Amino acid sequence: MKLSVVVLEGPYTHEASDSAYNLIQAALKKGHEINGVFFYHDGVYNVTKFMEPPQDDRHISRRWMELGEKGIDIVVCIAAGLRRGIVDKIQTSNVRISGLGQLAKMILESDRVIVFGD
């Protein structure tokens, strides 16, 4: 199945980003295709490159960067991002900023869209 994932909450404070990541890993293992990930609301904070968690904690933005490296389209909403000071130059690599139209596109292209939020 072709899946898209929407993340609505920021990293560490909330589990949404972890749950989304874990679902993606499990889905890939089962042979599903991940069409894209869309970050919205405080979810846009998940992919800043200045994140530096303690060594024994998971590195959330690196996880998303690595999924992007695999060719999964990782998109940060520009409206939600700009409002919060999330711009291209503070983002990790393999991630792009784009409009809400990308979310609409993911809905059109995917068999399922799964939302992780509060």
Residues 81-110 that bind another protein (CB under 8 A): 99-101, 103-105, 107-110
Query: Minimal distance in Å, beta carbon 18 to another protein?
Result: 18
77 has catalytic annotation: yes
Question: Given candidates 21, 40, 45, 64, which one binds another protein under the rule CB under 8 A?
Answer: 40
How many C-beta atoms surround the C-beta of residue 93 within 10 A? 10
DSSP 53: -
Residue 73 one-letter amino acid: D
How many C-beta atoms surround the C-beta of residue 40 within 10 A? 20
| Residues in Cβ contact with 90 at an 8 Å cutoff, skipping those fewer than 6 apart | 48, 49, 50
Q: Please identify which of the residues 3, 34, 77, 80 carries the catalytic annotation.
A: 77
Count of residues of this chain found to bind another protein when the rule CB under 8 A is applied: 24
Q: Is 58 in the site for another protein (CB under 8 A)?
A: no
Interaxial angle between packed helices 16-29 and 60-69, expressed in degrees from 0 to 180 and rounded to the nearest 10: 30
- Contacting residues toward another protein, per CB under 8 A: 1-2, 6, 8, 40-41, 79-80, 99-101, 103-105, 107-113, 115, 117-118
Active site residues per annotation: 77
